[in-house]
Amino acid sequence: MFSFSIKAKDVGSSARLGEFSTPHGSFETPCFMPVATQATVKTLSPEQINLTKSSIILSNAYHLSRRPGEKVIQELGGLHKFMNWPGPILTDSGGFQVFSLAKLNKVTDEGVQFRDPVNGDAISFTPESVIKIQEALGPDIIMPLDQPVPYPTTLEMAKRANERTTNWARRSLAAKSRTDQMLFGIVHGSTYKDLRRQSAESLVELGFKGYAIGGLSVGEGTDLLFDSLGPALEILPGDAPRYLMGVGTPEDIVRAVNMGVDMFDCVLPTRNGRNGWAFTSEGVVRIKNLQYQKDLSSLDAKCGCYTCRNFSKGYLRHLFMSGEILGMTLMSIHNIYYYQALMEGIRNKIIS
């Protein structure tokens, strides 16, 4: 039902080409997953996501458990049917909300108690309840509850969070009952190399089939990010998929692939697209700039996306200056396509 195999390795780096099979189809790695937090990639329909050549997407179990609720989605046929996405789906557990909603939660060894930022309701998340939520949602790849820590953080705080995350990972494995879902372990340790190694070693001992590296890209800067990533990758088994959570820029992705990372997600292409920023082969285009008002050229002459094949910079600027939602849609299509073309180029270079 699940398999991950390495098809090729780069001679000059640790980059590798993989094939990941799931109950809802296969995809090649290295891969990029567009973020569909609320069971939608903002401003895009599933058909439009297909136009970007995306094979797998990411949703958030915390947000979906709040609205409309995992039981509602389950009754409506599961997440794939609910959002009409036939391909693989990965769900994040909500561990990032432990970090982003720190002022609204209390973390204990048992789990996390939240106050819903929308209506103030009390919410209790445990490793077991998070697994049950994701089993009700029905994605292909699921994440355990974890405890990211802010940067900077003390060594003692990072140690305590690591101990909790490992214990929660053990409890998550025990709680998992569905065989048609793959549970990843999540490596933590902030920017402490020894803690990163210890976290990876503990998760490998537990026998996970896939591994995520979390708690990075939280303000530590690029150099510290990659200094912290390396020790974890040295420990993680080479025959398992490796997922770097929430990273990042095209430059960061290329660097991480060279270190042996297989999977990525980030809101950057869609968030930037909705704000009128396009990634192109010539650099970033800020479409609201006056210089594009009468520009008949496409966003990127080297791009084959739907947006670049059909619309000019002048038209796209008009959409943004007029407040038309179509502008956000077209820019998001282009940016995700740009990321997927980047990943395809990386995979081709690994082969060659």
Give percent of the chain with pLDDT exceeding 90: 93
> Which helix (DSSP H) or strand (DSSP E) does residue 92 occupy?
strand 89-92
**Higher-pLDDT residue of 174, 114:** 174
* 319 has a pLDDT exceeding 90: yes
State the Cα–Cα distance between residues 211 and 236, nearest whole angstrom: 8
State the amino acid at position 139 in one-letter form: P
Beta bridge partners of 105: 114
Please, which residues have CB within 8 angstroms of residue 150's CB and are 6 or more apart in sequence?
99, 102, 218, 219
Task: Judge if 279 and 157 occupy the same domain.
Answer: no
Domain boundary among 265, 300, 328: 265
Rounded mean pLDDT, 170-178: 98
Which runs of E-coded beta strand occur in 140-189? 141-142, 182-187
DSSP state of 323: T
Q: Is residue 146 helix, strand or coil?
A: coil
| pLDDT, position 105 | 84
Beta bridge partners of 91: 59, 142
Q: For residue 28, how many other CB atoms are within 10 A of its CB?
A: 15
| pLDDT, position 114 | 81
**Higher-pLDDT residue of 194, 104:** 194
Task: Judge if 271 and 259 occupy the same domain.
Answer: no
Spatial CA neighbour of 232 closest among 150, 183, 165:
165
Please, which residues have CB within 8 angstroms of residue 276's CB and are 6 or more apart in sequence?
286, 287, 288, 320, 327, 331
| pLDDT, position 17 | 98
| pLDDT, position 99 | 67
Show the domain range for 129.
3-265
Task: Judge if 322 and 261 occupy the same domain.
Answer: no
Task: Judge if 49 and 22 occupy the same domain.
Answer: yes
Task: Judge if 306 and 236 occupy the same domain.
Answer: no
Task: Judge if 288 and 165 occupy the same domain.
Answer: no
Rounded mean pLDDT, 17-41: 98
Average pLDDT, the chain: 96
Task: Judge if 60 and 161 occupy the same domain.
Answer: yes
Residue by residue, DSSP assigns 210-239 as EEEE-S-SSSS-HHHHHHHHHHHHHHS-TT
Domain boundary among 234, 265, 296: 265
| pLDDT, position 116 | 78
Q: What is the rounded radius of gyration, in angstroms, for the C-alpha atoms of the chain? A: 20
Please, which residues have CB within 8 angstroms of residue 205's CB and are 6 or more apart in sequence?
none
| pLDDT, position 97 | 76
Of these residues, 140, 146, 262, 265, which one is catalytic? Answer: 265
Task: Judge if 215 and 133 occupy the same domain.
Answer: yes
Cis peptide bond prior to 148, omega within 30° of 0: no
| pLDDT, position 152 | 95
Rounded mean pLDDT, 126-148: 97
Count structural domains, the chain: 2
CATH number at residue 256: 3.20.20.105
Range 202-208, long-range pairs (CB < 8 A, 24+ positions) = 202/166, 202/169, 203/166, 203/169, 204/235, 204/236, 204/237, 206/166, 206/169, 206/170, 206/173, 207/173, 208/169, 208/173, 208/183, 208/184, 208/240
Task: Judge if 302 and 212 occupy the same domain.
Answer: no
| pLDDT, position 104 | 73
Would you say 278 and 300 are in contact if contact means Cβ atoms under 8 Å apart? yes
| pLDDT, position 122 | 86
Q: Is residue 33 helix, strand or coil?
A: strand
b/e per residue 256-269 (b: at least 16 CB within 10 A)? bbbbbbbbbbbebb
Residue by residue, DSSP assigns 45-64 as -HHHHHHTT---EEEEHHHH
pLDDT digits (tens, 9 = 90+) for 257-292: 999 999 999 999 999 999 999 999 999 999 999 999
252 catalytic? Reply is no
Of these residues, 10, 92, 262, 300, which one is catalytic? Answer: 92
Phi, psi of 135 (to 5 degrees): -70, -35
pLDDT digits (tens, 9 = 90+) for 70-93: 999 999 999 999 999 999 999 999
DSSP state of 208: -
State the amino acid at position 14 in one-letter form: S
* 311 has a pLDDT exceeding 80: yes
92 catalytic? Reply is yes
Domain boundary among 218, 242, 265: 265
State the amino acid at position 60 in one-letter form: N
pTM of the shown model: 0.97
Q: Which two tokens stand for residue 164?
A: 């909790």
* 94 has a pLDDT exceeding 90: no
Q: Name the one residue in this structure whose structure tokens are 């819903």.
A: 116
pLDDT digits (tens, 9 = 90+) for 230-251: 999 999 999 999 999 999 999 9
Strand order in the sheet with 31-33: 31-33, 263-265, 242-244, 210-213, 182-187, 141-142, 89-92, 57-60
Task: Judge if 93 and 130 occupy the same domain.
Answer: yes
Task: Judge if 223 and 238 occupy the same domain.
Answer: yes
Would you say 157 and 189 are in contact if contact means Cβ atoms under 8 Å apart? no
Task: Judge if 194 and 294 occupy the same domain.
Answer: no
| pLDDT, position 98 | 67
* 100 has a pLDDT exceeding 90: no
